[in-house]
Structure formats: structure tokens, C-alpha cells
A and B are shown apart, each in its own frame.
Chain A
């Protein structure tokens, strides 16, 4: 099968699926009033519909979004990052100090118990972090743990985490990706057993489950004074419903109280139903058009020419895409990072306005007056990708667009199969530019530029603990990246949520739903 028929085939399939999703909301809108009796508020439970079955409940293994969401409910990290202010708040640790460039010391909370009743202390922290810092254990996201050199108990309620080299983003990972397990229980049942019957200190405990659904219950003995507060909803029923249209139908029918990943165009229609609240929440996920300046896809790639990349920056009307196709609070960005991340200095960026005439002139200067052909890959949203495709066509660049699944599209970009990639990046919810710039301009396979000067700056900013030095290095990197137009920084992504009216739920920019903060209205 050749490439172009593949594209068409996949295209039709995707269109069909889009149409199906539209059908379900359109048809449901015809139902005058769904008026079904809702179980949720009556017994203070919440039924959540997710698309993928998590591969167990080990937070170091189950790293897809739905899995991370469950990890945050079952387990606690040492610290909690407030989703509104991005400040660190006490959780399992009540205070922390930096001893030196490599070492953080944490005072642990007294009187915390795991779901099985055992007491929490330094031994649990040391065992959990030491175990997963070992690459042999097989943590899925090595970046979360491979900076840890050693973890040691100073006394039963004090631990020190020592990094291999100065690691400025340490607190972000400690607050974001490092849940603490009960060492005795986990060793007794083994990590595989633990993933099937997890025990944590989190606000919810695992009660039961078989394939297709599982139940969490509020942890009665959950400590007070932590950043997560005390959960109001008593029971979380989680159902796995792979098909988007079916998930939407379940919410309309009132059998499921909460879903996410609702397609943007469905949100308005769903919101029109009396029993459903639908909204688009902003996220810290940024979309970009990456260009293969390093000529991985093609040794004669026009993308290697600065003028061509500048032309592409001028060719795309990002404001129109955001206003018409992103929706919600989606915003145009001019930087190759999320503006709220540490080091993401928006003032350092060179910006490009929408000016197709200028784009054409630049292409002519570069010797491409008659345009050229490129391969392009994207995944999340067909209409946006096609908009970019047609903006490129308007200045003479013919992009052969391949819409595939996210994983396949990432592979195409990383393996250098495409010249242009319209992708996005959630920075693992980490509020530090090391998670964005540090993943796309560090010489890794994600890096389509491979600019040594930029790589050096990013490496410097990622390994210094002096905040001013870091900021300066990131600013310089951002200036260089935008000057050389390696990306078209596009926009932030919005996440579609739909839930039973009466649920008080606030979406967060880090795309981590927090049901311990949700409650049913009286």
C-alpha cells in the first residue's frame, strides 16, 4: 500500500468518527429532557468515564493521563503543588529546606497512616524512591527518577534526597511524579501485586475492581492540613469506556457523571443539554509546528533555510486558528514553552505576525518562488492541521498531511520521517522550562533544530540551581530559537470536560482532575 492511499484511508476513517461524535450530541439535543434520576448526588458518589484501562495502579508505571489522575487520588507525594498558584504546599512533608546544591531535606508529617493502617515514616520514602531510582525497576518515565543519587533517612521523620548533579527541577518532580508507597506491604506483595492492590496514603483508597470498572472510597483516616484538603465525595466509581461517542452518550443518559477529552466542537452542543455542564478548560499543553531544520527527513530540506522557516512563521494565521478552531481560553503563544513555566520569558521572543505577502517574498528570496513539497504529520485535531496545511498552500508550500494516532505521529517526528510536525507537549505538568525547552532543544530525537548553541544554553539552565543564571540562559535560548524560527509556536490546547450539572468541579491547567476538591452542590 503506498503512502497516499494510506493517508486517504485514515482520513476517511477519522472523518467518519468525527461525524459519529457529532451525531450523538446532535441527536441527544433533540431529547427534550433527559430527566433521569441521578445516583451521584443521592449517595454522594461520582461515576467517572475514562477511555483507557490503566495498566495497574503503580504510579511509576501507569504514566498515561488517566493513570496519573488515579495516582494522585490513591497516593500522596511529599509536597503538593497548588494547581491555582503553583506554590508548593505541605503534604507528606510539612517543611523542606535545601541543604546544598544537591540536597533537599524534608521533615515528614507525624501520625499519617496508609490505607491498611500501617504508619508512614522515613523508611517508606527511602524505600520507594531508592527502588524506583534504580533503572532496573523499570519506571516508565526515567526522567522523573534518574536524577536521584540517593535517598537517606536522617531520623524516622526526616529524609534527604540527593541528586547526582545540581537539579533545579527537583521539587517539580517530587511534587508531581514521586508517590510514596508503604515499604513493608509493597515488598510483601511485590511490585506487580502492588499495582493490582495498591495501598497509599492518598485521600481515596482502592476498594475493588475487575476489568472494566473499579471503585475508590474516601480514606476515613486522611490527615488534615495537607494541600489536598479533605475529600467531600465519598465514592469514586471509575468505568472504562473506550469509545468517545459512547462515553458522551453515557453522560447524556446520566449514567456517568464526569468525562474528559470531549472534542472541542461537541462541548457547546453538550452544554445545551439541561442535565450536562460542558466546558473547555485551559491547559499548560502547548502546540507547535516543528520544522526539520536539522535535515533529518531530507538532506536537501528547504527547512534548513532560515528564510523558509521565517516564511512559514509569517504564513500561518494563528489568531484565526485559535479563535475559530481552538476555542475556550486557548491562547496564541510566541515562545517555545508554556508562559507560566519557570524561565519561559515571553519578552525574549522574536515574534512573527501573519503576513502571507511577506512569506511569499521570503520564499522567493530563498529561491523557492515556485514553492515546494513537504511531508507533514499531526494527530490531535484534523481541522486545525488542515488549516495549517491550507495556510502553507496559500504561500506555495504543498504539505502532504498525514493524520495518525499521537504515538505514531511522535514516532514520525522523532525518527525524522517528516519535514513539518504539528504536535503538542504537556511538559509532564511540570512548571519549569526544563520540561519543555529541555525536551525539544536538547539534541534529543524531539529536537528538530540540533543547534549546538541552543543545546548548550538549555543544558546550562537545566543543571544550575542559581535562579538568575537559569533565567538568563533560558531567555537567551528563547531568543535564539525564535530568531532562527525553529518552531512556529502555535497556541495552548484546551481540554473538553462534560459532567452532570450540580457537580462542583474546577478544571486545572495541569490536566490533572482533582476529585478530592470536587463536591455535589447542595
Chain B
């Protein structure tokens, strides 16, 4: 077990490092950072001043070295635009994003588990088909489109829910549904497939033969086994929520990490972009690591051979 943790952690560290290089290169090669910082009516003089001020005139390798040295000291740098420390900017916005991600995953699970179980009980029934259609729609409709439809219906036409902002819990309902419906289909299909497989297993037949009640078979024996892979998928989906939050938070004007990422990208605020990419990928890697380890704990086969 200790070897497994060590190996996976080393791999995770390597991935973080690789991501930091890729992100740094992409953000410096794709656009001229000075033009982004200066805005669209800057003169040559303004651009030159900004290049000097932020060291964009240095070779890339030197810039990356400075950046990496800072990160290792725990200093993520300051925003080019507001001058505030990046770590503070991100820390201020984590609660909103975390709340949104939890609510979204909660919504996805609340829909996926019962739908998946019901669909598995009667494969190819009307209910099953409905559930699968919902899954296809949920996955196919882009976030920003779905968000807008929800805004139109519940925000503008019915006026039940606030349209944008993050002042109250009610502000999170529409974004959580938007983001959650994107995560729901994969979870639901996994539960459905797992349940169908488990329900055909020998031990379930045995349980039936022993005359156990349907409910007991379903929840105590079948679901418990079918849910195993769902746990790791949930962890991965949680990581997706952070990435997806970039769009959803912008649509709903939620002051979270995702919106900060979008805003920084549109203004080439490199230190913030790099820190957010690093932050999100680290969370993602941690969640994957956590899922691996959890699976190992729950499933002795992985523990021994992994």
C-alpha cells in the first residue's frame, strides 16, 4: 500500500511539473502578453514600457526559471492588472467555486443514482429509454447554451430565481443545475451498466433463491457493488466541475476561480492564468489519486496488484 501511494504521488508530482511548463509556454507563445495587458488602444511606447516592467523582453527560459523559483518558494506572483498577490486572488474565490462544485455534484448524483437504478431494473423499458435520452441531451447541450435557457425560463420569464451574481444561495441554483446536468449522464450510465451486470451475477441469484426481499437485494447487495466505480468517477467529475466552472461562472457572473480564469485569459494576466491552471490540475490530480487509493481500500484486488 505504501509503495502504491509513493508511486502514484511521484507520478502526480511529475504531471504537475509538466503542466506548469506547457501552460507557461502556451500562454507566452499564443499571444503577446504585453498586448493583452496594455489593451487594444496601446501605443508602441506603452507596449515597450510594459515589456520592460514585466520582463517580457527576457528569454523565455529565464522567465520560466524566475516563475518556477517563485512557485517553489510558495510565491505565485502578483496580478499584472491589479497588482494583488495571485494566491490571495485565488483564495478569495475558492469558496464560491467549491460551493458550486459540491452543489453540482450533489445535483448530478441525486439524479443519476435513482435514474440509473430504475433504468437498470427494467432495461429497454420506456423509463430506461427516457433516462438514456436525458443522458444524451445532458451531455450534448453545451454549458453556456443550457445556462442561457435556464436563465430565460426561471430568471426572465418566471422570475423565480436570480439571473446572475453570487450573493445568496439562490444564486447558485441555476449554475449548479447547468453544471450538474453535464456531469450526470456519465454517472447515470455507469450506475445503470453496473447494476445490470451485478443483478445478473450468481450471488444475486443466490440471494433471490434464499428469498431475500427485493429491496434488500437491491440496496444491500447490488448497489453496494455497482457503486464502486462510481466513486472514482465522481472524484474525476468533481475535477471536471472546476474546469467547467470557467464557462458556467462567466455566464452566471459568479465570482469564483473559473470566472477569474476567464477574466485573466481575456486580459493576458499570465501569473493568474498560470496559478489557476496549476491549481485546477493539482486538485484534479489529487482527486484522481484519492480515487485510486479509495478504490484500493475498497477493492483488495487493486491493493495487491496495483
Contacts and interface: CB of A to CB of B under 8 A. Distances in A.
A146 B45 contact: yes
A245 B150 CA distance: 12
Contacts of A138: 49, 53
B253 interface: yes
Contacts of A31: 156-157
A36 B156 CA distance: 10
Contacts of A405: 266
A243 B253 contact: yes
A112 interface: no
A28 interface: yes
Contact of A242 (B39, B82, B250): B250
Interface stretch (B161-169, B212-220, B296-304): B161-169
B157 A249 contact: no
Contacts of A34: 156
A435 to B, nearest CB: 10
Contact of A239 (B31, B35, B79, B253): B253
B259 to A, nearest CB: 7
Interface string A1-42: 000000000000000100010011001101100101000000
Contact of B41 (A252, A415, A425): A425
A246 B41 contact: no
A415 to B, nearest CB: 8
Given A250-B164, A253-B159, A24 B148 contact: yes
A411 B165 contact: no
A135 B262 contact: no
A518 interface: no
A428 B259 contact: no
Contacts of B75: none
Contacts of B38: 140
Contact of A140 (B46, B151, B155, B255): B46
A414 B40 CA distance: 11
B96 to A, nearest CB: 9
A246 B151 CA distance: 8
Nearest to B89: A211
Interface stretch (A49-57, A286-294, A389-397, A482-490): A49-57
Interface in A403-430: 405-408, 410-411, 414-415, 425-426, 428
**In the complex, which range does the number of interface residues on chain B fall in?**
35 or more
Contacts of B40: 406-407, 410
A192 interface: yes
Nearest to A17: B144
Interface string B21-42: 0000000000110011011111
Contact of A410 (B35, B82, B84): B35
Nearest to A19: B145
Interface in A238-272: 239-243, 245-246, 249-250, 252-253, 255
Contacts of A408: 31, 35
A211 B145 contact: no
A243 to B, nearest CB: 5
Nearest to A27: B152
Contacts of B159: 36, 253
Contacts of A501: none
A366 B9 CA distance: 67
A439 interface: yes
Contact of B93 (A16, A55, A211, A446): A211
A141 interface: yes
Contacts, number: 135
Contact of B255 (A212, A253, A439): A212
B164 A64 contact: no
A323 interface: no
Contacts of B253: 212, 239-243, 246
A146 B81 CA distance: 21
Nearest to A242: B250
Given A192-B83, A255-B163, A142 B46 contact: yes
Contact of A195 (B31, B35, B83): B83
Contacts of B46: 140-143
B206 interface: no
A211 B255 contact: yes
B200 interface: no
A63 interface: yes
B163 A242 contact: no
Interface string A154-185: 00000000000000000000000000000000
A252 B165 contact: no
A407 B44 contact: no
B195 interface: no
A253 B163 contact: yes
A444 B44 contact: yes
Contacts of A411: 31-32, 35
A346 interface: no
Given A143-B46, A195-B83, A407-B36, A23 B163 contact: no
B275 interface: no
B234 interface: no
A445 B162 CA distance: 46
B57 interface: no
B39 A407 contact: yes
Q: Which of B46, B83, B259 has the most CB of A within 10 A?
A: B83
A284 to B, nearest CB: 13
B85 to A, nearest CB: 11
B236 to A, nearest CB: 26
Nearest to A56: B82
B295 interface: no
B197 interface: no
Interface string B266-304: 111000000000000000000000000000000000000
Q: Which of A30, A31, A250, A425 has the most CB of B within 10 A?
A: A250
Q: Which of A30, A135, A146, A407 has the most CB of B within 10 A?
A: A407
Contact of B49 (A142, A211, A243): A142
A407 B43 contact: no
A36 B162 CA distance: 13
A213 interface: yes
Contacts of B144: 20, 243
A55 B145 contact: no
B263 interface: yes
Contacts of B41: 425-426, 428
A146 B39 CA distance: 18
Contact of B156 (A192, A249, A410, A439): A249
Interface in B73-128: 79, 81-84, 92-93
A142 B43 contact: yes
A27 B45 CA distance: 47
A428 to B, nearest CB: 6
B135 interface: no
A239 B255 CA distance: 11
Contacts of A255: 162-163
Nearest 4 interchain pairs by C-beta: A55-B81, A212-B255, A406-B40, A241-B253
Interface of B: 31-32, 35-36, 38-46, 49-50, 53, 79, 81-84, 92-93, 142, 144-145, 148, 151-152, 155-157, 159, 162-166, 250-253, 255, 259, 262-263, 266-268
27 contacts: A24-B148, A24-B156, A27-B157, A31-B156, A55-B79, A138-B53, A140-B38, A141-B42, A142-B45, A142-B46, A143-B43, A146-B45, A195-B83, A239-B253, A242-B250, A242-B263, A245-B251, A246-B253, A249-B148, A253-B159, A255-B162, A255-B163, A407-B268, A408-B31, A428-B41, A444-B43, A446-B43
